[in-house]
Amino acid sequence: MSEAHVAQETEAVTLQPVDSATLKSTGKVLAVHLSYSSRAAQRGRVPANPSYFMKASSSLSLSGGTVERPAGTELLAFEGEVALVIGKPARRVSVEDAWSYVGAVTASNDLGVYDIKYADKGSNIRSKSGDGFTPVGPALIPADKVDPAALRVRTWVNGELVQDDTTEALIFPFAQIVADLSQLMTLEPGDMILTGTPAGSSVIVPGDVVEVEVDSPSTSLSSGRLVTTVTQGEVPFAEFGNTPKVTDKDREDAFGSAEAAGLAAKKPVLTEDLKAKLASVATATISAALRKRGLNNVSIDGLQPTKTDRKVIGTARTLRYVPNREDLFKSHGGGFNAQKRIIDDLNEGDVLVMEARGEKGAGTLGDILALRAHKRGAAGVITDGGVRDLTAVAGLDIPAFYASAHPAVLGRKHVPWDTDITVACGGTTVQPGDIIVADADGILVLPPSLAEEVADEAVEQERRDAFVFQMVQEGHKVDGLFPMNEDWVAKYHEWVAAGGGQ
């Protein structure tokens, strides 16, 4: 739909255009960080509650305009979104009443430059508030004429459809967002709320034309297509402030994935071949190989396994508890806390390592969360704290390692605090990405950079031990054989060449 046809009659509803007066009446532009399930899946995390940032009202622009990619930057990204326009003052409104405070909805494009995102610690002040970074329009759809859970948002780049989702897929309904924001601030008529973008957001370059449309398929009401053309800026950032800087992580976020950003996917350190090598050797042999490399403090000590016949090999994910403080447990212990979030984010082959300070006076794991970790594909759970429901946990298929059993709930001693950081567990340091090898004989932490050579050495050492054992069994003396002298080494290589140790 062209801007010339903004004023349209659809089921006797006149759609008013977004014009300069509309933009001037906008006092606040608020935006939701993450709200669509498809986008959350891309990001690999589902927020427990909505969070927000603000955009300058000077970033607003009309359909048919241009947006400048600043000189010296490479990661200008579009985000097609539904914009809510507040119709009447809203302060501490309920979720049930919140939608009645929305006057209209329209299309918006939450443009941002990832090259400068680092500079404002997540507030997005400069990366999202450039002039023209918030085009809206071209028409306002009356909010009372549509179902907020049945709107559709679509985005085209150079005529190709790249985003297509509906508000049925929202993690946080519009009413919740409006009610939540109104708890601490008055939403004034004309204020706009950008409600998040679905999957498909990516990078655009000068010459690209981006179009966003919001419509209600059941009523045929549409905002029309919001059109923005990208141009190249010529004025570089001044040296007296932050200048553009990007990492591969920025590129991955801006494009939506490592593949889309042209970044070679990192090969996993713990390959199936490496895993098979580590599974074939004793924990003691791996420990000896680590010690030869000067690593003496790489065992998690003092824990016992629920499965004495199982070996766990996986990649570390970490969770840290801090000592319970009642006010902090109230703010961080309930709901979708750090403990529940990381368990719900475990992947195939992960080993969750919990730092509980060796405190045994409360459970840090129970049967329900252990079952959820198993369903997520985790290889095991390790805690230097207590386990509740021990019989039930031990009956699950997922191995767990723990300091003691204890019937008390988490809040007696712990507050789940943060995840995927360096932690201390059972007397050693564990970092996310470390390789964990654990069985009834002990729990070892392998630095990823050494894992392959340690595994190869351990396999070779055990093959040599098998040869020595066989020779002693056949009646040979240990003198010169254990350790092997030159003659026995030559015989060992002949044995290997003949298929020994296979």
Output the known binding site for Mg(2+): 389
Burial class (CB in 10 A: 0-12, 13-18, 19+), 49: exposed
Residues 6+ positions from 1 with CB-CB distance below 8 Å:
8, 138, 213, 222, 224, 225
Strand 363-365 and strand 386-387: the pairing is parallel
For residue 103, CA distances in Å to 63, 107, 266, 470 come to 20, 14, 48, 84
Residues 6+ positions from 367 with CB-CB distance below 8 Å:
388, 389, 392, 393, 396
Contact, 141 vs 68, CB < 8 A?
no
Residues 6+ positions from 450 with CB-CB distance below 8 Å:
290, 293, 295
Q: Tell me the three state secondary structure of residue 417.
A: strand
Binding site, annotated residues for substrate: 366-369, 388
Q: How many CB atoms lie within 10 A of CB 424?
A: 17
d(CA 483, CA 53): 67
User: How far is Cα of residue 75 from the mean position of the Cα atoms in its chain?
Assistant: 20
Positive or negative: CA dihedral 275, 277, 280, 286: negative
Contact, 353 vs 318, CB < 8 A?
yes
Q: Count how many residues are written for the chain.
A: 502
Binding site, annotated residues: 366-369, 388-389
Burial class (CB in 10 A: 0-12, 13-18, 19+), 220: exposed
d(CA 35, CA 168): 11
